[in-house]
A and B are shown apart, each in its own frame.
Chain A
Amino acid sequence: MDKKLKEIKETKKNKWYLIIWISLFGILLITGLLTAIRIFTAGHAGMFNTTDEIPWGLPIGTYIFFVLTSSGLTFISSLSSVFRIKLYKPIAKRCVFMAICAMFAGFVSLLIELGQPLNIIYYVITPNFGSQMWWMGALYGIYLLFLITKFWRLHIGDHDSMASKALGLVTLFFAIAAPAILGSIFGLVVVRPAFLSEFKPAYFLLTALLSGLAFLMLIRIIYHFFVQTDITENRQGIFNHIAELLALTIGITIFFSVWRTITGLNDNRTSPAFFELVSSWPFRIEVFLGLVFPFFLMIVPSIRQTDAGKTIASLFVLGGLFIGRIELIMVGQIQPMVHGITEADKFTHYFPSVWEWIIAGFSLSILLLLYAAGERYLNLDIHPVESKITMQDSGFLKKQ
């Protein structure tokens, strides 16, 4: 029955869109793969614009962007699987699947960035338990395993068993712990005051949620606009609710970002770097186009409830967050570490190379192609009781 329904829905036009989707991201995938092979055989020199002064660049930013998006998607899926908010039940499986795809996308970027990725075996053989980096790798590894297991339970229709609930809880734990540790990788670097912050883990968790909300909304709407046109009225209700959550999360993020910048500008140690940051165009784009503009879009009900409003807002949020991840890495690296060394008292500047952009595109293509495959073959939409859930049932949103 489902198959037949799918066949009817897939008009010729939609098939063409699917082919365009796969071709576009397939080209990105192949280009990225060839670039990765070149990096593994010839080294990073000449390929990346990172230097000894700025060792972390766009690939690390891409990694952070995707793994935090993954955590955010898990937070959203947990609304139903852990906090029992029925409204979100229909999208729980999709969120978990997207979270898995985002993890793969992030890991690919990280592996290409590593100098000797095969030595990752030493994570197991000679672990340094005192290193945040070790804990980040371990927690994200375990998190991915739990995510896959959780998805398998949802795929076989087990939404409400004790095992499934426990799995949801454990997955949520790792979805919180891993980005918090990732935040501490920057937040605990004492020697780089622009990184140093006890709020970094909290900021990472907050922006993870923001990233997850925006990503879910954007991919869902874009994919279904082009490929499948089956966003039901009930789904529209869920996405309206997600748009409200998005507005709230953007608001809190603006608050955090403003105070992070004010603190940075006031601290004598970090003010040169933050002044450089504030006067840069990427920062203005991040704040005004990535946060303020979508915030206004999402607080106006008439815009919030339209697909176009949601799409534009989530697109700008994601663009802003992506720029923000790179800026977050850069602000701690552009300022010279050792003062008094006259030739080093200048700011180092960095702009990603074409190859680094290709690696970012490679990661994105992995996510989007995996997602397309999941949509087509893994019944991400199917839920036995979906039709019975109404907005009033949720007990979370009364006004609609």
Chain B
Amino acid sequence: MEEEKKERRRFLKFGFLAAALTAAGVGLNKITSGEKNSGENVKLLSTGGELVEVDKKHVKTPHCGASSSESRKGIPDRKFVMVIDLSRCKNARKCVQGCQKAHDLPPEKEWIKVHRMQDSEETAPYWFPKPCYHCGKPACVKVCPVEATFKRSDGIVLIDQDRCIGCKYCMIACPYAVRSFNWHKQEPDEGQPNNSYSPETGTPAKPGSVGKCDFCPDLIREGKLPHCVTACPMGVIYFGDYYEDAVTNGTETLRFSDLMRDRGGYRFLEHFGTKPSVYYLPPVNRQFPFKEETENA
């Protein structure tokens, strides 16, 4: 009994000492680092429901992307697929805007593009959203000399811009022309949080490297859908797991295999043998007529 008390006292002493040292260390660090307030306040909602003003310097945005090595592993036992229903797309471009906003892309850079497609002169045109196809046999991964582009176990193809040399061979080799080069050397926007780079978020983009649609793996890790899926007002884009045989556009969940069989699902330029993870449902039985101009739904 006495021995137990002694042990507890020793533990508490050690605990207090450690806490005191940590507090002193933090304080000393603050003093010696000479950090000054930015002079710019931001308004935040406290846990008590009050609106408080704090200096911008003290606002920390949590790091939301996996590290470079974690990013390469992928989410176990998953194989992600996307299904795009061409009969529903009316070029609202919300997917493009949602993606641009989330990935901090300039207006001229689009990781998902919506093209006006016409298979032949006789057939009717239709809108064709084109993200990265996250191919099963990606040409970009094969040609990258430094393994900056890689394919994960869950089927997602990512780029580690910290490693990319900017040779652009992947852009030459990609059959779908979905990659874009970061031509500009952008100064970090002061209004934006200064997150460290992660291949899973692709932000902040490294100048002189290549970028592309990444299926938003940071959101998938949290059990959420990619930005383009949730931004689309028409429910055009479905996303899901091939192994679970289920895809969802956020409002309805469907069997992947049924969709492919019943709606004539196909993959774009399949003859290249790249085995894309993005499938299309043909633009048949359209829900509205084709209009040339952009429709702001």
List residues of chain A with CB under 8 Å of any chain B CB: 41-45, 48, 52-53, 55-56, 114-117, 119-120, 122-123, 125-128, 130-134, 137, 185, 189-192, 332-333, 337-338, 340-344
Contacts and interface: CB of A to CB of B under 8 A. Distances in A.
A116 B146 contact: no
B146 A123 contact: yes
A122 B165 CA distance: 8
6 contacts: A43-B208, A126-B163, A133-B144, A190-B139, A191-B272, A338-B175
B171 A338 contact: no
Given A119-B146, A133-B169, A337 B119 contact: no
By DSSP majority rule, is chain B's interface helix, strand, loop, or mixed? loop
A197 to B, nearest CB: 15
A142 B158 CA distance: 31
Contact of B119 (A137, A340, A344): A340
A128 B146 contact: yes
Given A52-B181, A115-B166, A190-B272, A128 B144 contact: yes
B115 A119 contact: no
Contacts of B144: 128, 131, 133
A115 B210 CA distance: 9
Contacts of A122: 146-148, 163, 165
Contacts of A55: 168, 171-172, 181
A115 B181 contact: yes
A342 B142 contact: no
For the side of the interface on B, what is the size category? 35 or more
Nearest to B177: A337
Contacts of B118: 340, 342
Given A52-B171, A114-B208, A122-B165, A341 B181 contact: no
Nearest to B179: A52
B143 A133 contact: yes
Given A122-B163, A189-B172, A115 B209 contact: yes
Given A43-B183, A44-B183, A134-B145, A343 B165 contact: no
Nearest to B165: A119
A131 B182 contact: no
B234 interface: no
Contacts of B209: 115-116
B110 to A, nearest CB: 10
Given A115-B182, A340-B118, A128 B272 contact: no
A67 B144 CA distance: 21
A372 to B, nearest CB: 32
A54 to B, nearest CB: 10
B213 to A, nearest CB: 14
B265 interface: no
A56 B139 CA distance: 18
A273 to B, nearest CB: 14
B293 to A, nearest CB: 13
